[in-house]
Amino acid sequence: MDFYYTTEEEKFRDELRQWLVDNLPEGWIEGKREIPQDNEGQSKFFRDWQRKLFDGGWSGISWPEEYGGRGATLIEEVIYEQEMARVQAPPQINVIGVAMVGPTLLQIGTEEQRERYVNKILNGEEIWCQGYSEPNSGSDLAALQTSAVKKGDKWIINGQKIWTSMAHLADRCFLLARTENTGKKHEGITAFLVDMHQEGVETRPIRSIDDQHIFNEVFLNDAVAYEADIVGEVNKGWKVSLTLLSHERTGVARQIFQLNQVFDELVEMASTLKKNGRPLIEDPIVRQNIGRLRAKSKGLLLNYYRNLTNSIRNGYPGPEGSMDKLGASELGQEIYSYALSLQGSVNTLWKENAAVTAEWQYEYLRSRAYTIEGGTSEIQRNIIAERILGLPKDIKY
């Protein structure tokens, strides 16, 4: 495994670093990372950032140049994620559009769909959400019950989606609905591109344990989609859904890079906080635990690079991505949990205080979702067992 970058790759990194210095919100690099809390303010903040990325050529960098991307290599994508994690850049509000919907349309969408949606995904003019999970079909996605019935030139959609990230800000939704009941749950599913602003779509907020509003319930009451809104073929949406999910890998990469940075912040906190007049980092038990977390974070990173090497050789990502996702989500929970244990009694303080920032509390609560979102840890273990280790599949009753 070669850990060195070529001259051109280092030039790419330097260009990105300079652009971030010139274009991040004022005070961001210095730690002043203030994001509006109201929906209108958040929408403007994130849309402005998305537009700035687009204007600078840093949105959808791996997309073909004719569709607004840079045609970046997989290694350049990794460098991009490293640098964005390093400065803790604001997230792209259109991350679902840029990381998942756009690449899916480029791969299997019609030319009309590419012309209609792709540019607006990159520049943030249209924000996307993903209509997959339902109250009774989360990890078992194929058990979805939202229905779409054809009437004339329209498809009438009824049902409910839940845990829909950014639905309250979204303009369109990449939605799965059942269009035929064959008795086999993976059949009869169709993927639609649905307008979120029509009368038949209602969005209700879900405020999570960290008091943030990212998730939503979406109710579809005679919502309308058209033939031109179908991705792939009618009743063959399961294959389309797997195509979209395969493009999630860059999000996992950034989480791994972020965790290695969070570990450094954990060490800094342990060096600052004191017990009996001595920095916590001098306690042998603390040093032992930090060393253990360091070994895990470094091992996770090296394993990701190994899987990345396989992707470069094969030309596509394999099931090894489940190893990265599983390791990153569970290690993230472990790091934030240990960080709060080091804080002692001040870990109950929700607001900023003299000892530590409240960011640790927010992220600890947020980390509860790591092992659920993007496929639960149980699902990841099944994939690893069956597709990597070659173990027998679960018995279906």
Q: What is the CATH number of the domain that holds 320?
A: 1.20.140.10
Percentage of the chain lying above the pLDDT 70 cut: 95
Q: Is residue 393 part of a domain?
A: no
Q: Is residue 331 part of a domain?
A: yes
Instruction: Compute CA distances 91 → 45, 179, 386, whole Å.
Output: 11, 34, 33
Give yes or no for residue 354 having a pLDDT over 80.
no
Query: What is the predicted pLDDT for the residue at 288?
Result: 97
Q: Are 276 and 321 in contact (CB under 8 A)?
A: no
Q: Are residues 250 and 381 in the same domain?
A: yes
Tokens 């849309």 belong to 47
Give yes or no for residue 353 having a pLDDT over 70.
no
Query: What is the predicted pLDDT for the residue at 183?
Result: 85
Q: Among residues 248, 334, 373, 386, which one is catalytic?
A: 248
Cα diameter, the chain: 77
Q: The domain containing residue 183 runs over which residues?
A: 128-235
Q: Are residues 158 and 112 in the same domain?
A: no
Question: Could you read off the pLDDT of 81-90 as tens digits, one per residue?
Answer: 999 989 999 9
Give yes or no for residue 191 having a pLDDT over 90.
yes
Give yes or no for residue 397 having a pLDDT over 50.
no
Q: Are residues 156 and 139 in the same domain?
A: yes
Q: Are residues 21 and 114 in the same domain?
A: yes
Taking the model in full, what pTM does it have? 0.86
Q: Which of 205, 235, 265 is the last residue of a domain?
A: 235
Residues 372 and 329: their CA atoms lie apart, in Å, by 9
The pLDDT of 231-258, averaged and rounded, is 83
The pLDDT of 188-205, averaged and rounded, is 97
Q: Are residues 261 and 159 in the same domain?
A: no
* 254 or 381: which leads in pLDDT: 381
Q: Are residues 32 and 144 in the same domain?
A: no
For the chain, how many structural domains are there in total? 3
Q: Are residues 361 and 304 in the same domain?
A: yes
Mean pLDDT lowest for which of 93-102, 155-164, 173-182, 222-231?
Answer: 93-102
248: annotated active-site residue:
yes
Instruction: Compute CA distances 129 → 37, 93, 99, 233, 293, whole Å.
Output: 19, 10, 11, 21, 34
Q: Are residues 268 and 352 in the same domain?
A: yes
Q: Is residue 269 part of a domain?
A: yes
Q: Which of 123, 151, 178 is the last residue of a domain?
A: 123
Cα Rg of the chain, angstroms: 22
Length of the chain: 397
* 394 or 295: which leads in pLDDT: 295
Q: Which of 174, 207, 235 is the last residue of a domain?
A: 235
Query: What is the predicted pLDDT for the residue at 1?
Result: 58
